[in-house]
């Protein structure tokens, strides 16, 4: 659970830092690219869960 909260906090910190410093957001600007990032993250989390359960 703490890993999930750490990941969310880190993501918010990176996004906030990029916005505050007026840097380009390190994510694709199109919905397809954003869904790709979500799919890769979900795959990582699901695989991590499967590997730690066994």
Rounded Cα distance between 47 and 39, Å, is: 12
Task: Note the pLDDT of residue 51.
Answer: 84
pTM over 0.75: no
Q: What is the pLDDT of residues 1-54, one digit of tens each?
A: 788 788 777 777 877 777 788 777 666 677 777 777 788 778 878 888 888 886
Task: Note the pLDDT of residue 27.
Answer: 65
Report residue 26 as tokens.
């390190």
Rounded Cα distance between 45 and 51, Å, is: 10
Task: Note the pLDDT of residue 35.
Answer: 75
**Inter-CA distances, 31 with 8, 13, 34, 37, 51, Å:** 20, 22, 5, 10, 30
> Taking the domains of the chain in order of start, what are their residue ranges?
2-53
For 32: left if phi > 0, alpha if psi spans -120 to 50, otherwise beta; the answer is alpha
């Amino acid at each position: 659970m703490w890993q999930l909260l750490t990941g969310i906090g880190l993501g918010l910190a990176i996004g906030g830092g990029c916005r505050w410093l007026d840097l380009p957001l390190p994510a694709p600007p199109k919905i397809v690219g954003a869904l790709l990032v979500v799919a890769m993250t979900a795959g990582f989390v699901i695989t991590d869960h499967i590997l730690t359960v066994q």
